[in-house]
A and B are shown apart, each in its own frame.
Chain A
Amino acid sequence: MNARKLISMVALLGLSFSIMAASVPEDKIDTLRLAPLNVEPTPPAMQQVINSDVKQVRNYPMQPPVIPHKIDGYQIDLKVNKCMQCHARTSTGHSQAPMVSVTHYMDRDNNFLADLSPRRYFCTQCHAPQLDAKLLVENDFVDIDHLIKATKPAKH
């Protein structure tokens, strides 16, 4: 009886020490929360997406192109895919939008399907409209073209 009490006391003590050791001073915590837990700060105003209808240059050949128009209220679910109203093969005549490329009709074994491949159905998984916002972190991506140019010995 007594021994058991002792053991559990020691265990509890150990536990509380380990918790104390784990706690870090407040200013050392990196958090996205800029207000105390119990305060709901007013979110910043939503920015408008770029709706310029001007296609953006892709940064690398496999990049899904960004969407150059707004997509507010465009429904993509089991019932309907609004994007395909303009981007389907048969729609490009009236919409003058680029057709989804042939990769969107391929399954994972590279078979060509008659219709949109299920893995490409939810367009906004890969394609996103853009904001004219300042970068949160600096981007040090270097285009492959520049890399090739930099490593090539100067010819003249």
Chain B
Amino acid sequence: MRIGIPRALFYYQYFPFWKNFFEQLGLEVVLSSPTNKEILKQGLEFCVDDACLPIKIFHGHVADLIGKVDMIYIPRIISIEPKEYICPKFLGLPDMIRNSISNIPHIVDTELNLYKGKNHILDHILNLGKILNIHQTRILFAYFKAIKAQRQFEKLMIEKFVTPQDIIDKRLTFIENQTFKKRRNNIKVLLLGHNYNIYDDYISMGLIRKLRKHNIDLITCEMVTKSQIKEGNKKLSKDLFWTLGKKTTGTAYYFLEHKKVDGIIHVASFGCGPDSLVGELIEKRAKLEYKIPFLYLNLDEHAGEAGFDTRLEAFLDVLEGRKHIEDNISTYG
């Protein structure tokens, strides 16, 4: 049995878990190709045109799997943290796919709903077992194995300041050498944005590659501990109910407050509901209260790479200029 996993959306968050879980159960895990022109084209063709770019791209990845697998795993992700959601489009994702793409393989759309508590992950796992017709003990065994891999993955990102892609693609030497302490003088940029946007090299037009080429030290929400995020979010007057938004605000406020970054880049999809409010809250604070340079990059299918690069270069120039002045002051002062 081959189970397909679209290389999009929560692939960047949960792939180690999914891969280990399904492989442990004896299934062959097939990924769609990395996002490319053809996938984007198919996504645009199938998806309702008002959706945001990552949702469109997801449609493209599903289409890419047709003919290569026996079933496709598209969980209905309602909530992954108690009292929080991702966004309405995630709630309706399996429906959107069914409504828009015909002749697809069987969709495994088991609900993942941790709204009422983290232990409900077991409901998801056991229901998967029922659908796949696999005995409970085997399912639980696979679950424990998978959760271990997932924890290691999350820990590594925090300890080594590496991205999901570094780990999944096994860039081992890079990970080994990645330590901030040696290069204290590098510019530090906080890269905010949903994981499926910033880590998808095609969607983000190689943003991470480009920043690394400029010797920028990157920090993303995935590289920050939960307690740091919690501390940052104390600044909110009402709890946010979007998991990704909350991760973003927590990370941003934490680093703004501790003055640990030289600049902030916020990547958002055009038309993203949560980010339209969250982004605004952060940008205002960063600029008004902390005077930290802020670059807002809005992604959609029409964004041109040339303009994108120009804005990025200009922003990095500003950061370098500021750093230079700072260094000089501290040497002479």
Q: Do A and B come from one complex?
A: no
